[in-house]
Chains A and B, each alone.
Chain A
Amino acid sequence: MSETFKKDAITLNEESLGVIDSKKTAESLSARALKRSGGQIRMEGFFKKMLILMGLIMVILVFGILITLIVESMPSIKVLGMRYLWGRTWDPVQDIYGAFPFLLGTLLTSFLALIISIPFSISVAIFLGEYFPKGWFSSFLKNTVELIAAVPSVIYGFWGLAVLVPIVRTFQSKIGVPPLGVGIFTASLILAVMIIPYAASLGRSVIQMVPSSLKEGAYALGATRWEVIRSVIIPYTKSGLFAGILLSLGRALGETMAVTMVIGNTSHLPTSIFSPGNTMASVIANEFTEADNPIYLSALIELGLVLFLVTTVVNMIGKKVIGRFTNE
């Protein structure tokens, strides 16, 4: 009995020895796993830090743009001061830098383009948002209007130069102004086409958000379709439509190539909407590589700074308005 017990104990012992052995391997295994997961954890921390770094890079990028513009336009801000914005002559040869013709040119082209484009873009928005929100017909129109935004601006410019300028020229000779073809009016026409999609697509989405109970209430009171649009949909979506128009404006202010190609490029103060002119963006595009003296260059960069600030403010107001509209 006791011998067998001993034997058992020995075998047990041997077994337990074996167990200890396998425990050892298990330990070393788990140590390895621990080491690996330590690596994983380090990797995880590294990855999280990298993501934060990416977020930081975006912030640094935008502030870097702002700071670069401010630093590089410092010479002109110091020398010219506020006079710069109101000066009416731009004559780099005689070192006179007044940006007023370009400010006026930008404002004229952008607002003229807005006035021309608003009826069209609001019509598209109402058509897609209210009259025909579904079906292949409306999706065709929606996609086509969105493609307008996709055409490169240099192609608009080239087309404007080849097609629109002669048309405007005959129009001008008929109404009795000098038939130049190029000028602020032509630039506004091209811009008007280019900015339709921005106001239209935002307008469509806000019109679709009008609660149907409101519309049904108006119909139940005997309103016609137009009366519903005029006194329910438009008042309800007012701020959203306004935001869409602001986004269009932001686009029009910064548009460069198409405008540069058809506006005529003179630095004189425009006298009418048919006279040739220059916008802030087009004068930078034309003269930046030719600017040989430091004040000239930094005066051009100051234009860029003004453009950056104005478009940023316009876009931010638009985003704020649309944000408030969707939260309500």
Chain B
Amino acid sequence: MKTSIRLRINKSKLVQWVIILLAFACVIPLLAILFYIIKAGITKINWNFLTNIPKPVGEVGGGIANALVGSIIIIGVAAIIAIPLGILSGVYLSENKKSLLAYWCRLCVDVLQGVPSIVIGIVAYFWMVKPLGGFSALSGSVALSIMMLPIVIRSTEETLKLLPDSLREAAFALGIPFHRVILKVIIPCGFSGILSGVMLSIARIAGETAPLLFTAFGNPYLTTNITKPMHSLPLLIFNYATSPYNDWHDLAWGASVILLVFVLVLNIFTKLITQRWKIQL
């Protein structure tokens, strides 16, 4: 009798330790990736690396200026397209909770959130690249903005749901028209939540490669023309990582550090905001 109780207690303790071990084993890959990439890439980063475009194979030096500029432009245009659309759709969903269209809209946002990025790339190819007659940064931005939308919409809707009804009622009681209540009262009150959703979505699209393969395509030269093919950091990493040349691997490691740090800082920053304002995303 006593031994059986001891057995059960020991079993319970054993399982607890196994679970703790397994749980902490999950941290190892992330730390390994972080350390390895920073170790391999940090020495490659210097002023020339940031301001030069890649040199042909065999020449020493060269940088990733084209990809840096391209990434900023592509993400910027995507944000300009997706943020107003996303916030307004989120407002619509939080204002009309029960209508039929809201039900379908919510369903579609759920579907969109799960669509593989490569499929969005294909669709953007047929919507933008074919009609425009060639690969362009603009089509890449459209593809990325489609990926941003669900995150922005969800965070806007969830944030606005948390605002007390008395706030809107007070504003309506003052005789303020609907659109001014939304734009001047509701959205400013939920600003931090919406902002964190926007930052999260930017962090997500910053590392997306698959939709850019058939849209922005990549370009070895520096360009700021959004109707022409353009390079971006993840595309450059993919192209150079799968190439056989060591010089190009070095460029890819340096680019990986920049991309990884950018994405992780954005994520941590977002976490701090959401913790401070107690928003559930």
Interface residues of A (CB under 8 A from B): 37, 40-41, 43-44, 46-48, 50-52, 54-59, 61-65, 68-69, 72, 119-121, 123-124, 126-128, 131, 141, 143-148, 150-159, 161-163, 193, 196, 200, 224-227, 229, 250, 253-257, 261, 281, 284-285, 288-289, 301, 304, 307-308, 311-312, 314-316, 319
Contact = CB atoms under 8 A, between A and B. Distances in A.
B27 A145 contact: yes
Nearest to B101: A55
Contacts of A63: 108
A289 B214 contact: yes
A77 B259 CA distance: 40
Contacts, number: 249
Contacts of A128: 23
B114 A55 contact: no
A141 B26 CA distance: 9
A121 B22 CA distance: 8
A131 B123 contact: no
A120 B89 CA distance: 37
Contacts of B208: 152
Interface of B: 8-9, 11-12, 15-16, 18-20, 22-27, 29-30, 32-33, 36-37, 40, 85, 88-89, 91-93, 95-96, 101-102, 104-105, 108-123, 125-127, 146, 149, 153, 177-180, 182, 203-204, 206-210, 213-214, 217, 234, 237-238, 241-242, 252-253, 256, 259-260, 263-264, 267-268, 271
Given A254-B117, A289-B213, A47 B104 contact: no
A225 to B, nearest CB: 5
Interface of B is mostly: helix
Contact of B207 (A151, A253, A261): A151
B88 A311 contact: no
A285 B118 contact: yes
Nearest to B120: A65
Contacts of B182: 47
Which residue of A150, A227, A257 has the most chain B CB atoms within 10 A of its CB atom?
A: A150
A261 B177 CA distance: 55
Contact of B118 (A64, A163, A256): A256
A58 B88 contact: no
